[in-house]
């Protein structure tokens, strides 16, 4: 049995088409990305199963997975809440599987498939549950215990190796799959080789400078302007040596060339300083030209529609509009005041989702504006579960914005758990305030 091929045959075709429409990406790009996601995440599953504790975690996750999602992918995308549920489940799995490697993996997949980073993040979250569902279905059909599951996963190593895109093993920190991490060694050779080549170029440049004198001065001056003086770290000691050589009479001609080089470097440094000063002046002028241009051009049609939206006093949309009308001055972080979720869930309650819809209207009017959506909880209960719940709620907001037509690459999400409380967790009112979603504008 080849799990990689099963996932491609039974999941990729259906998921790629639906996800592409949902994310606003090309189906070919999403398909290519999934061809990288499935073997990569499966490789991480296999790697984790190499330890007793890791195998137990995989066994539990696969046992809880819903095999039904494999049978009707299209039905999932018929409801925003189902897509949100899929992504929330995937976010929890990824936190366990990838940990701090998640960001690097998402970036790598984005580049591999030619997707926007936000789309890549959403797609990885969508794909992860299908892997666990496929493993869980096989495990139940064969009545495997944890040991049997470990043996089965071990049998998939060669399939994963052959399906793993180059470079992803390194990003995921895979250590137990042999050739899958050979790219790390190759990368090390390239780095060392690159360092050696760079060293040769620096030393060679120094030698050429000593030998050719004036002929190198122009290049040095130009390089000083471009690099802001990076070459001076080795150039000044070299000039000192050459100057001493000239002083003690080793070469009258060399002394003349040293003087020429020194003058050229001084000219180059002066030019660089002028360029920097000019750049600072230009930057100051650009800032002074108006904060209203901070987030790019306005979509006038969307702005007209936005003018007709009624924002509840104190809502996130109301705060953001005041920030925009005030010239983008002050704190660019806004807190939802009326957005509610079902207890212990990431499901947005009833009509409170209008706060998210109003945010979508603002984002449509300012198409270059990007945001970070951060979820928070109070400190009640398990800290790990709280962090996952806060991330799931942030993902739910992201999914609703995407469904409203906002590109996924404009929205990043984070689950902060009980961090940074804004009120006293010792009171019920304080805990209620700490359970919140915040939106921050990204410049």
Same domain, 48 and 165: yes
Same domain, 172 and 193: no
Q: Look at residue 106 and tell me whether its pLDDT is greater than 60.
A: yes
Asked if residue 140 belongs to a domain, the reply is yes
Backbone angles phi, psi at 412, to 5 degrees: -110, 155
255 pLDDT higher than 80: no
- Is 308 a member of any domain? yes
Q: Are residues 195 and 170 in the same domain?
A: no
One domain for residues 34 and 62: yes
Residue 320 to residue 361: CA distance in whole angstroms = 11
116-121, long-range: CB < 8 A, 24+ apart: 116/25, 116/407, 116/408, 116/409, 117/409, 118/398, 118/407, 118/408, 118/409, 118/410, 118/411, 118/412, 119/23, 119/24, 119/25, 119/30, 119/407, 119/408, 119/409, 120/33, 121/408, 121/412, 121/413
Of the candidates 329, 315, 297, the one whose C-alpha atom is nearest the C-alpha of residue 357 is: 315
E strands present in 236-280: none
- Given a contact cutoff of 8 angstroms between Cβ atoms, the answer to whether 22 and 29 are in contact is no
User: Domain of 331: which CATH number?
Assistant: 3.30.1330.60
Residues found in the chain: 443
Domain count across the chain: 3
Residues 123 and 99 in one domain: yes
To 10 degrees, the CA torsion angle through 260, 262, 268, 271? Answer: -100
Pairing relationship of beta strands 333-335 and 436-442 according to DSSP bridges? antiparallel
Look at residue 12 and tell me if it is in a domain: yes
**Torsion angle of C-alpha atoms 352, 356, 362, 365, degrees rounded to 10:** -120
* pLDDT computed for residue 174 by the predictor: 59
283 and 305 fall within a common domain: no
Higher-pLDDT residue of 247, 425: 425
**Mean pLDDT, range 402-426, rounded to an integer:** 89
Residue 181 lies in a domain: no
421 shares its domain with 285: no
10, 144: one domain: yes
pLDDT band at residue 127, thresholds of 50, 70 and 90? very high
Q: Does 296 have pLDDT greater than 70?
A: no
Strands (E), 216-338: 333-335
Same domain, 284 and 304: no
User: Same domain for 7 and 101?
Assistant: yes
Return d(Cα 268, Cα 151) in angstroms, integer.
66
Query: Which of 145, 176, 207 is at the close of a domain?
Result: 176
Residue 70 lies inside a defined structural domain of this protein: yes
Segment 205-222 mean pLDDT = 40
Other C-beta atoms closer than 10 Å to the C-beta of 314 total 11
Examine residue 53 and state whether it is found in any structural domain, yes or no: yes
In whole angstroms, what is the distance from residue 160 CA to residue 42 CA?
Answer: 7
Asked if the model's pLDDT at residue 212 lies above 70, the reply is: no
Confidence tier at 262 by pLDDT (50, 70, 90):
very low
pLDDT in tens, 40-70: 999 999 999 999 999 999 999 999 888 888 8
Q: How many CB atoms lie within 10 A of CB 62?
A: 24
What is the pLDDT at residue 443? 60
Give the tens place of pLDDT for each residue, 315-340: 999 999 999 888 888 889 999 999 99
Same domain, 150 and 41: yes
Q: What pLDDT, on a 0 to 100 scale, did the predictor assign at position 372? A: 92
Final residue belonging to a domain, choices 240, 256, 289: 289
CB contact at 8 A, 84 and 375: no
pLDDT, position 92: 81
* Dist. CA 168–CA 129, nearest whole Å: 20
User: Which 3 state secondary structure label does DSSP give 334?
Assistant: strand
Tokens for 55? Answer: 């195998």
pLDDT in tens, 153-191: 999 999 998 888 776 666 565 544 544 433 333 333 333
Same domain, 166 and 60: yes
Structural domain of residue 436, as residue ranges?
293-442
Domain boundary among 268, 289, 310: 289
Q: Is residue 420 part of a domain?
A: yes
Predicted local distance difference test score (pLDDT) of residue 281: 39
For residues 393-426, one letter each, b for 16 or more C-beta atoms within 10 angstroms of the residue's C-beta and e for the rest, the string is bbbbbbbbbbbeebbbbbbbbbbbbbbebeeeee
**Residue 226, domain member (yes or no):** yes
Total Cβ atoms within 10 A of residue 310: 9
């Amino acid at each position: 049995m080849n799990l990689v091929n099963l996932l491609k045959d039974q999941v990729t075709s259906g998921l790629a088409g639906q996800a592409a429409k949902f994310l606003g990406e090309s189906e070919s790009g999403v398909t290519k990305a999934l061809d990288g996601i499935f073997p990569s995440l499966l490789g991480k599953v296999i790697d984790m199963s190499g330890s007793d504790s890791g195998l137990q975690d995989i066994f539990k996750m696969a046992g809880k997975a819903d095999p039904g999602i494999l049978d009707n992918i299209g039905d999932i995308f018929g409801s925003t809440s189902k897509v949100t549920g899929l992504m929330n489940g995937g976010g929890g799995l990824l936190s366990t599987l990838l940990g701090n490697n998640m960001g690097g993996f998402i970036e790598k997949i984005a580049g591999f498939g030619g997707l926007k980073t936000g789309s890549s993040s959403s797609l990885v979250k969508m794909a992860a549950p299908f892997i666990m569902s496929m493993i869980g279905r096989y495990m139940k059909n064969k009545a495997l215990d944890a040991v049997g599951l470990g043996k089965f996963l071990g049998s998939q190593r060669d399939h994963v190796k052959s399906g793993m895109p180059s470079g992803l093993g390194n990003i995921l920190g895979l250590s137990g799959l042999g050739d899958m991490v050979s790219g790390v060694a190759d990368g090390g050779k390239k780095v060392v080789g690159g360092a050696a080549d760079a060293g040769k170029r620096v030393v060679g440049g120094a030698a050429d400078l000593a030998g050719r004198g004036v002929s190198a001065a122009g290049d040095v001056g130009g390089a000083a302007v471009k690099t802001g003086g990076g070459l001076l770290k080795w150039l000044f000691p070299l000039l000192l040596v050459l100057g001493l050589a000239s002083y003690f009479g080793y070469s009258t001609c060399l002394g003349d060339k040293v003087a020429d080089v020194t003058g050229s470097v001084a000219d180059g440094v002066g030019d660089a300083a002028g360029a920097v000063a000019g750049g600072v002046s230009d930057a100051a002028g650009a800032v002074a030209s108006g904060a209203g241009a901070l987030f790019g051009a306005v979509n006038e049609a969307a702005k007209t529609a936005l003018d007709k939206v009624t924002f509840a006093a104190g809502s996130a949309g109301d705060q953001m509009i005041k920030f925009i009308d005030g010239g983008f001055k002050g704190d660019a972080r806004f807190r939802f005041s009326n957005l509610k979720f079902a207890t212990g869930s990431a499901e947005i309650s009833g009509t409170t989702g209008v706060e998210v819809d109003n945010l979508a209207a603002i984002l449509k009017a300012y198409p270059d504006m990007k945001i970070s959506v951060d979820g928070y909880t109070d400190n009640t209960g398990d800290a790990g579960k709280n962090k996952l719940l806060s991330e799931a709620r942030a993902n739910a907001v992201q999914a609703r914005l995407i469904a409203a037509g906002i590109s996924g690459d404009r929205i990043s999400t984070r689950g902060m758990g009980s961090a940074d409380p804004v009120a006293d967790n010792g009171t019920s009112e304080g805990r209620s305030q700490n359970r919140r979603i915040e939106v921050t504008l990204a410049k």
